[in-house]
Amino acid sequence: MSNENLLGRSRAAVWHPCTQMKQHEQLPLIPISHGKGVWLYDFEGQRYLDAISSWWVNLFGHANPRINAALKDQLEKLEQVMLAGFTHAPVIELSERLSHLAPGKLGHCFYASDGASAIEIALKMSFHFWRNSGQTQKIGFISVANGYHGETLGALSVTDVALFKDTYAPLLRQTYQTPSPDWRLAAPGESAENYALRCADSLAQYLEQHHATTAALIVEPLVQCAGGMAMHHPMYLQRVRKICDQFHVHLIADEIAVGFGRSGTLFACEQAAIVPDFLCLSKGLTGGYLPLSVVMTTDTIYSAFYHDEVARGFLHSHSYTGNPLACRAALATLDIFEQDDVIQANRAKAAQFTQAMQPLRDHPRIRHFRHLGMIWAFDVADAAPDFSLAFYQAALQRGLLLRPLGNTVYFMPPYVIEEEEVALLIEETSSCLALI
Ligand SMILES: *Cc1c(COP(=O)(O)O)cnc(C)c1O
């Protein structure tokens, strides 16, 4: 195995995601041979600091010994069984533990394999709840401007990122976008909180007119990640929870990216002390090991499907729903949170890292430096149209995996990152900024 050999074969046989394949005529693919902690290694000894947790999924490093051990144990017992008519210990234990950890009483867990499928499930469940409740006119969905919820047709219908959405517009359902509470959009002199409240008022105005035909509002609590790490005040969530209750509209919290400690609390909703009707989780759920997602919901929703009539049930399914290996990886991940008191430990780490980032904050090209939990982001002024790709390449040459979103550079490292690695990240990011 060599780098050269693999990247040619990959380009020929593998159609890579989120990629214009023609760019790989110039831009080499990076074959990875193995990973350890925050580092990814190629076949020639070059290493890359995974500062974006391999698309925001990894929490406790690559090849984590504790998660590896749990998976090896599970492999010897049961790799997969269908979850219709059958059940197994890992899926039961995981559901019980998630329900215990999540806010409120989200006691019913429905599983899928990726984030977009969890969004599809939440949308279908909300619609079907209203239908089962005799409110067949409640079929509309509201999402937040600049939001991202995945790439399947239903999830894309509530996504608001033009590059991913516009091409497929003829295939998508019409949905309504309510203004984003992103604090960068506040008027001069307006606080993040007041701006958030103004955005919530706009939602209330829309619902005055349209509540009778609206099933649900879907939000990314506290951070719109794919939309450029846009952060908002928790008061927004508090207010929209009240508005949704007032107008009998479900609140779907998409914590696929921000769940599992990324926002500084186990779930972002905790910071606004709200309970959504549906909580969607994936990405960090298995510590970044295996595809698994879950939609958690309430007794009220569940009861509306519980009936003698089969078609009133939620008949949605995926072949690998509740896969035992993925559930074991998730259980091992929850064990680490508990045994290492990760949320508390991250608080101290994050404060230290934020302080170390002062030179970036003071950098003349940096705007809107922002931080929440284990996410840091800033916008770069005077960025060329190809900034993102050029920065990505410059970072790779310096041993960093960073993928800016437009002119927004962000760090979302695995939680096991150490002080020296953060120092390296800051130093090399600064040298990229001097070039790109
Ligand atoms: C990544 C992401 C999704 C989609 O998850 P996939 O597993 O990529 O389908 C949905 N919502 C948010 C907020 C995400 O960050």
Question: What is the distance between the alpha carbons of residues 253 and 237, in angstroms, rounded to a whole number?
Answer: 10
pLDDT at 314: 98
Question: What is the distance between the alpha carbons of residues 266 and 260, in angstroms, rounded to a whole number?
Answer: 5
Question: What is the distance between the alpha carbons of residues 429 and 400, in angstroms, rounded to a whole number?
Answer: 8
Ligand 1 centroid to 426 CA: how many Å?
Answer: 27
- Please say if the pLDDT value at position 7 is more than 90: no
- Please say if the pLDDT value at position 417 is more than 80: yes
Question: What is the distance between the alpha carbons of residues 327 and 293, in angstroms, rounded to a whole number?
Answer: 10
pTM for this one?
A: 0.98
Residue nearest to atom 8 of ligand 1 (CA): 115
pLDDT at 6: 84
Testing ligand 1's pocket by substitution, the residue of 148, 156, 252 carrying the most ligand atoms inside 8 A of its CB is 148
**Residue (of 335, 337, 159, 317) closest to 265 by Cα position:** 337
306 touches 129 (CB < 8 A)? no
Residue nearest to atom 15 of ligand 1 (CA): 257
Same CATH topology for 31-63+342-435 and 69-339: the answer is no
Ligand 1 centroid to 262 CA: how many Å?
Answer: 14
What's the angle, vertex CA 23, arms to CA 17 and CA 27, rounded to 5?
100
Domain segments of the chain: what residues? 31-63+342-435, 69-339
- Please say if the pLDDT value at position 382 is more than 90: yes
**Residue (of 171, 214, 234, 168) closest to 373 by Cα position:** 234
Average pLDDT (120-131) is 98
Q: State the number of CA atoms in the 13 A half-sphere of 423 facing the CB.
A: 3
Ligand 1 centroid to 123 CA: how many Å?
Answer: 14
% of the chain surpassing 70 pLDDT: 100
- Please say if the pLDDT value at position 3 is more than 80: no
Average pLDDT (249-270) is 98
pLDDT at 8: 84
Average pLDDT (131-143) is 98
Beta-strand relationship, 250-254 and 278-281: parallel
Average pLDDT (252-258) is 99
180-238 pLDDT, tens digit each: 999 999 999 999 999 999 999 999 999 999 999 999 999 999 999 999 999 999 999 99
pLDDT at 31: 94
Which residues have CB under 6 Å of ligand 1? 114-116, 119, 148-150, 220, 225-226, 254, 256-257, 282
Distances from the Cα of 433 to the Cα of 45, 140, 267, 409, angstroms: 26, 44, 33, 10
pLDDT at 2: 78
Atom of ligand 1 nearest to the CA of 117: 9
Ligand 1 centroid to 346 CA: how many Å?
Answer: 23
Residue whose entry in the numeric block shows the structure tokens 């969905």: 141
Structure tokens at 311: 């078609």
Distances from the Cα of 177 to the Cα of 207, 224, 238, 275, angstroms: 12, 14, 19, 22
- Please say if the pLDDT value at position 4 is more than 80: no
Q: What is the 3-state secondary structure (H, E, C) of 104-163?
A: CCCCEEEEECCHHHHHHHHHHHHHHHHHHCCCCCCCEEEEECCCCCCCCHHHHHCCCCHH
- Please say if the pLDDT value at position 1 is more than 90: no
DSSP at 224: E
Beta-strand relationship, 293-297 and 108-112: antiparallel
280-329 pLDDT, tens digit each: 999 999 999 999 999 999 999 999 999 999 999 999 999 999 999 999 99
Which amino acid does the sequence have at 186?
Answer: A
Average pLDDT (410-436) is 97
Testing ligand 1's pocket by substitution, the residue of 149, 220, 375 carrying the most ligand atoms inside 8 A of its CB is 149
Question: What is the distance between the alpha carbons of residues 48 and 58, in angstroms, rounded to a whole number?
Answer: 15
Q: What is the dihedral of CA 147, 151, 157, 160, to 10 degrees?
A: 30
DSSP at 403: -
Structure tokens at 231: 């952060």
User: In the predicted model, what is the mean pLDDT of the chain?
Assistant: 97
SS3 314: coil
Assigned CATH class of 31-63+342-435: alpha beta
The pLDDT confidence band at residue 409, using thresholds 50, 70 and 90, is: very high
Question: What is the distance between the alpha carbons of residues 407 and 379, in angstroms, rounded to a whole number?
Answer: 6
pLDDT at 362: 94
Ligand 1 centroid to 169 CA: how many Å?
Answer: 19
CATH 1.20.1740.10 at 69-339, yes or no: no
The pLDDT confidence band at residue 358, using thresholds 50, 70 and 90, is: very high
